[in-house]
Amino acid sequence: MVSDLVDQNPERFAAVTYHVFDDFTVPWGQDRFDDFYSIATTPTLMFDGWLSCPIGDYGACLDQNLPMATDVTIDLIGTEVSGSTWDIGANVCVETGGSNKNLRIYIAATLNHPDLPSYSRNVLMQEAVTEDISVSAGNCRTVTQTIAFDSVSWSNQNEITIIAWAQEPTDTGPADVHQAAIMGWPFPEGEDAVLTDIEITPFTAVLEVGQTMTYTATGKDQNGDDFELTDPVWWTTGDGSGTFDPERGSTTPELTADYPGDTNIICTQDGITGRATLRITGDPPELSSIAISPVSAEMEVGQSRTYTAVGSDQYGDEFPLGDPSWTITGDGSGTFDPATGSAAPLFTATRPGTAAIVCSDGEISGQETVVITGDAPQLTAITLSPDSATIVQGRTQTFSASGTDQYGDPFTLDGPAWSISGEGDGTFAPLTGTVTTLTATVPGSSVVTAEEDGVEGTASVEITSEGLPKPRRVKARHTP
């Protein structure tokens, strides 16, 4: 009778036969019947699910149940793994407008063959593995079972029938069956899965500047099934901004919120884009510190090296410098090229001693110590200002002296002694010191000298008599 119903309704009715006490006994046979239905008997044929009707009146029950509406659909495909081993996929969907469902999915491989013991239709040839899924209205899930067909089935491929059904996930029977599907040999192979959507979790979130959050991207194919993302790329757009680590190659990168505002979270692969939204709160980042490298350097006079300044904001994130300027303070000294506008100038040590390298940008500065080695500075030259002068006899000229060391840096003079030599002459007041005044007394070409510790500086002086008042002749009148 049941066999007739299968023949009469090949697309709408499937029966699975369980041989319990023969060579085709499987774990899903007698134990399932006893445990699930609590009936201690050995049927030749049974339904999974239940048709509430007297035994033998299955046709009338089937006629009553076939018109019942269902919002569940099942499509079967087969994908060859190798030889007689195949992946059988059941794409289970709940139609739009239906109700969300928890389903237990069965995929059974059966065989029709008259030579099998106790011949019957759709004999179950191995254990049917189940998987519980949840499917929301308008969505689909694919359940895949790998089946290695036994030699008897594989030698009778045209008699193989794959039967799948979606049943209430209960542990005792009977249980409602929402939908079933059958697939015969040759198995229709499904289209290759392609990425059609990327879902980002969380879809909405709120972070403060400086906080972090892990995002997750899940790929979906044209059937709504998960699709492996191999090279996703992440970034942000909008008023706010953040930084992903890593920005590429991970489905679970960590985002650090950098700048406040409404932010779009973007993940893309193969031209498919997923989006989420993030609101970042907090004060805008601003420069709060400057770090200089190298740290605690040692250099010799004349040596050069590049210094680098990196700014950070109040959240500890890197912040670009606007117009940095460089100075050095302390016993040692040197020069920067350039001294302003660069975060990585070249520093040349010019004078030994311990000094502080300072980089400033606005009101924010950072410093680092440098120890410059070399000989102590010594006086090597004295320069007079002016270095030449013309003085009218009887008038004065002020001279100043400045020292320079072997590194070309200014050297403080203690008090050089002043002298004049040559045809002209004059007097100094004072005779020692860095500044003196010469009063010209005798016309002629002369040299003014300032000397300290054997080092001399000179200036040329021309003393002239021009401009002096000529002697006035007085006529004497004799008065008798």
Angle in degrees, CA 450, 454, 460, rounded to 5: 30
Q: What is the pLDDT of residue 150?
A: 85
238: number of Cβ within 10 Å: 17
Cα–Cα distance, 123 to 46 (Å, whole number): 11
CATH superfamily placement of domain 195-281: Immunoglobulins (2.60.40.10)
What pLDDT is attached to residue 121?
Answer: 76
> Do 2-184 and 195-281 come out as alike in CATH topology?
yes
pLDDT value at residue 55: 58
Which residue do the tokens 């200014």 mark? 410
| Residue extents of the structural domains in the chain | 2-184, 195-281, 287-373, 379-464
Q: Which fold has domain 379-464?
A: Immunoglobulin-like (2.60.40)
Contact present, 261 and 245 (Cβ < 8 Å):
no
Helix (H/G/I), strand (E/B), else coil: 65: helix
For 424-428, the CB contacts below 8 A with 24+ separation are 424/461, 424/462, 424/463, 425/463, 426/391, 426/461, 426/463
Instruction: Name residues whose C-beta falls within 8 Å of residue 366's C-beta, 6 or more positions apart in sequence.
Output: 289, 290, 291, 292, 309, 358, 359
Torsion of CA 436, 441, 446, 451, to 10 degrees: -30
Q: Quick one: pLDDT at residue 56?
A: 61
Encode 143-181: b = buried (16+ Cβ within 10 Å), e = exposed.
Answer: bebebebeebbeebeebbbbbbbbbebeeebbbebbbbb
Q: What is the mean pLDDT of each run of 10 residues along the chain (480 residues)?
A: 74 69 52 53 44 63 79 91 92 92 91 68 76 92 91 89 89 78 84 87 94 96 87 95 96 94 96 96 91 94 94 88 96 94 95 95 96 89 97 96 89 94 96 97 97 96 76 49
Extract the runs of DSSP E, i.e. beta strands, from 211-294: 212-214, 216-221, 226-227, 233-238, 241-245, 254-259, 261-269, 272-281, 287-293
Task: Give residues with Cβ within 8 angstroms of 87, minimum separation 6.
Answer: 78, 79, 80, 81, 144, 145, 146, 147
Which residue, among 363, 205, 356, has the nearest Cα to 292 in the 3D structure?
356
Six-digit token pair at 141?
């899930």
Give the model's pLDDT for residue 407.
81
CB of 264 closer than 8 Å to CB of 281: no
pLDDT digits (tens, 9 = 90+) for 370-383: 999 988 788 999 99
Please determine, looking at this structure, whether the domain spanning 287-373 carries the CATH number 2.60.40.1080: yes
Cross-sheet strand order for the sheet of 353-361: 297-300, 364-373, 353-361, 325-330
pLDDT value at residue 466: 74
- Rounded CA gap, 262 and 131, in Å? 42
Q: Specify whether the CB–CB gap between 389 and 397 falls below 8 A.
A: yes
Place of tokens 């004059």: 426
Q: For the domain made up of 2-184, give the CATH fold.
A: Immunoglobulin-like (2.60.40)
Q: What is the DSSP letter of 16?
A: B
* Residues 380-395: tens digit of each pLDDT: 999 999 999 999 999 9
The distance from CA 410 to its chain's CA centroid, rounded to whole angstroms, is: 51
